[in-house]
Amino acid sequence: MAENIHELLQTDRPNLYREIFPYTEFPKVMFDNEFVPYEIPGKIWITDTTFRDGQQSRPPYTPEQILRIYDLLHKIDGGAGLIRQCEFFLYSDRDRKAVELCKQRGYRYPEVTGWIRAVAADFKLVSEMGLQETGILTSASDYHIFLKLRKTRDQAMNAYLDIAKAALDAGINPRCHLEDVTRADYDGFVLPFSVELMKLAKEYNKPVKIRLCDTLGFGVAWTGVALPRSIPKLVHGLREIGVPGEWLEWHGHNDLHKVQMNAATAWLYGCCAANSTVFGLGERTGNPPLEAMVIEHAQLKGMTEGVNYAAITELAEYAQKELGFNIPNNYPLVGNSFNVTAAGIHADGLLKNEEIYNCFDTKQLLNRPVGVAITDKSGSAGIKHWIEARYKIEISKHDWRVDKIKDRIDAEYSNNRVSVISNEEMTAWVEKVFGNNLPPLR
């Protein structure tokens, strides 16, 4: 570990990287054409912030709702350790009740961890709840250090180190959240601070984790991009100074539509943990969607024994029915139209072999059979597929009853209809034409 070359850079003026973040224009991507190698850890995993960041964009969950979500996360994980931790607020009676309910389950995964302010007195809350680990806000960029905290870099770093020591003295493993790291002075603050954290870890013989927080979604996955926006270089540099990959965690936001790929990129360059929320619901634009990261993990590491992928669909159903989530129809993996095709030529292909227009076996893996939405482009093949999927029967696309329903659909669009035919309409028309020759709906 080359500690001596990473000294805190004192400065009277904040480094706001105006050439990259002009503010009056869109942020710039600067290329330095320097590349760092992949370093894919042997094991990578997911952590969850649904009960912390995820609650900062909606009315708070009740403790009972949190428990149900926690149960479903455990069900998806299946004891595999893929969804390794959840973090919780600890301040209100509601927060603490939720923690107590979840801890009573006795699950190994996800582990219950806390989140507190960088205030020594808050460790009492962590200790009272019997938690082994807590996140601590340690803002990293000069935007925060100079403009929000009104401190110098050495004042901020010393305060953060004091808090990390207080955690360790209390027998609690600190997880330092480097807020706004993608606008931070990497060589002048991030690396020197991280070196000091690793010294503490060695002194106490305890893990000191580092969460890289892409607070405004500025992180970029492309190779050859300059710091501070380069995710490969952010992770690689910390690995170079000796931070174990198991102590590194990525926390992203979706301000610039890069949230899932950025989290996966952190995995590829040596960061073992990717932080997420259920269906990406988090502050402002949200966080990496947990269900997407579960599938991303399967693509990188293969199907994991024990993981219950179909429980993702169960979680989506609960979120929509009981929590009021408005999951768009075209939302990947769990939206109502995720594996539903509206084009007749596509439906015809599905009938011949569903692999042609389905990205994987959605019935087996997610308990989501393929479907067909009905429009003026669906044709007889689409109508046939809809009826067969709905009523579990087999018919010919040349059946006169299919033709009769197609005539009704064509008439709708001849009258300038632009919306899809709803399931309710199709059900009524099919049952009228087929009469008593249909089995009851399942």
Q: Are residues 58 and 115 part of one domain?
A: yes
DSSP letters for 231-275: HHHHHHHHHHTT--GGGEEEEE--TTS-HHHHHHHHHHTT--EEE
Is a pLDDT exceeding 90 seen at residue 348? no
Distance CA 134, CA 118 (A): 11
Task: Give pLDDT, residue 345.
Answer: 54
Task: Give pLDDT, residue 5.
Answer: 80
* CATH assignment of the domain containing 178: 3.20.20.70
Task: Name the β-bridge partners of 213.
Answer: 251
CA 120 to chain centre: 30
Give the helix/strand (H/E) hosting 75: helix 63-77
Q: What is the mean pLDDT of residues 411-421?
A: 87
Is a pLDDT exceeding 70 seen at residue 349? no
Instruction: Give the list of residues 6+ apart from residue 319 with CB closer than 8 angstroms, or none.
Output: 278, 279, 325, 327
Is a pLDDT exceeding 80 seen at residue 127? yes
Is a pLDDT exceeding 70 seen at residue 441? no
Question: In this prediction, what percent of the chain has a pLDDT beyond 90?
Answer: 76
Give the residue ranges of DSSP H helices in 132-228. 142, 153-169, 191-204
Task: Give pLDDT, residue 4.
Answer: 52
Is 327 part of any domain? Answer: no
Residue bearing the bigger pLDDT, 173 or 56: 173
Instruction: Give the list of residues 6+ apart from residue 199 with CB closer than 8 angstroms, or none.
Output: 3
Q: Are 252 and 46 in contact (CB under 8 A)?
A: no
Sign of the alpha-carbon torsion through 339, 340, 341, 347: positive
Number of independent structural domains in the chain: 2
Angle between helices 290-301 and 259-268 (to 10 degrees): 40
Q: Are residues 296 and 171 part of one domain?
A: yes
Q: What is the mean pLDDT of residues 147-166?
A: 96
**Structure tokens of 62?**
């009740």
C-alpha distances in Å from residue 51, one per residue of 86, 98, 123: 8, 9, 19
Q: What does the pLDDT look like over 219-262, one tens digit per residue? A: 999 989 999 999 999 999 999 999 999 999 999 999 999 999 99
Q: Are residues 307 and 352 part of one domain?
A: no
Task: Give pLDDT, residue 145.
Answer: 98
Q: Are residues 77 and 217 part of one domain?
A: yes
Q: Are residues 239 and 197 part of one domain?
A: yes
Range from 230-234, 270-274, 395-399 carrying the lowest mean pLDDT: 395-399
Q: Are residues 66 and 164 part of one domain?
A: yes
- In the structure, what pLDDT confidence band is assigned to residue 347 with cuts at 50, 70 and 90? low
Q: Are residues 353 and 316 part of one domain?
A: no
Of 288, 322, 356, the last residue of a domain is: 322
Is 280 part of any domain? Answer: yes
Instruction: Give the list of residues 6+ apart from residue 1 with CB closer than 8 angstroms, or none.
Output: 195, 198, 241, 242
Distance CA 383, CA 327 (A): 26
φ/ψ region of 154 (left if φ > 0, alpha if ψ in -120 to 50, else beta) reads alpha
Instruction: Give the list of residues 6+ apart from residue 55 with CB closer than 8 angstroms, or none.
Output: 61, 89
Is 19 part of any domain? Answer: no
Instruction: Give the list of residues 6+ apart from residue 299 with CB closer than 8 angstroms, or none.
Output: none
Task: Give pLDDT, residue 340.
Answer: 76
Is 16 part of any domain? Answer: no
Task: Give pLDDT, residue 2.
Answer: 45
Question: In this prediction, what percent of the chain has a pLDDT beyond 70?
Answer: 95
DSSP letters for 364-403: HHHS---EE-BSTT-HHHHHHHHHHHHH-----TT-HHHH
User: Virtual CA dihedral for 308, 314, 320, 322, nearest 10 degrees?
Assistant: -110
Range from 136-150, 209-223, 331-345 carrying the lowest mean pLDDT: 331-345
Q: Are residues 78 and 181 part of one domain?
A: yes
Is 442 part of any domain? Answer: no
Range from 133-137, 197-201, 286-290, 339-343 carrying the lowest mean pLDDT: 339-343
Q: Are 135 and 211 in contact (CB under 8 A)?
A: yes
Q: What is the mean pLDDT of residues 147-170?
A: 96
Is 374 part of any domain? Answer: yes
Q: Are 133 and 113 in contact (CB under 8 A)?
A: yes
Task: Give pLDDT, residue 419.
Answer: 80
CA 390 to chain centre: 32
Helix-strand-coil percent breakdown of the chain, rounded to 5? 45, 10, 45
Distance CA 101, CA 64 (A): 8
Of 322, 357, 392, the last residue of a domain is: 322
Distance CA 289, CA 242 (A): 29
- In the structure, what pLDDT confidence band is assigned to residue 119 with cuts at 50, 70 and 90? confident
- In the structure, what pLDDT confidence band is assigned to residue 286 with cuts at 50, 70 and 90? very high
Q: Are residues 350 and 217 part of one domain?
A: no
Range from 263-277, 293-307, 427-441 carrying the lowest mean pLDDT: 427-441
Q: What does the pLDDT look like over 369-396, one tens digit per residue? A: 877 778 887 889 888 888 887 788 889 9
**Pair type for strands 209-214 and 111-116:** unpaired
Highest-scoring range by mean pLDDT, 267-271, 320-324, 333-337, 385-389: 267-271
Distance CA 231, CA 241 (A): 16
Q: Are residues 137 and 212 part of one domain?
A: yes
Q: What does the pLDDT look like over 76-99, one tens digit per residue? A: 999 999 999 999 999 999 999 999
Q: Are residues 177 and 71 part of one domain?
A: yes
Contacts of 75-79 with CB under 8 Å at 24 or more apart are 75/308, 75/311, 75/314, 76/294, 76/307, 76/308, 76/309, 76/311, 76/312, 76/315, 77/109, 77/110, 77/306, 77/307, 77/308, 78/306, 78/307, 78/308, 79/108, 79/109, 79/306
Is 237 part of any domain? Answer: yes
Is 21 part of any domain? Answer: no
Residue bearing the bigger pLDDT, 57 or 12: 12
C-alpha distances in Å from residue 372, one per residue of 197, 345, 346, 349, 407: 55, 11, 9, 11, 18
Is a pLDDT exceeding 60 seen at residue 49? yes
Task: Give pLDDT, residue 371.
Answer: 74
Which domain covers residue 200, as residue numbers? 45-322
Q: What is the mean pLDDT of residues 165-184?
A: 96
Q: What is the mean pLDDT of residues 33-43?
A: 97
Q: Are residues 377 and 285 part of one domain?
A: no
Task: Give pLDDT, residue 40.
Answer: 98
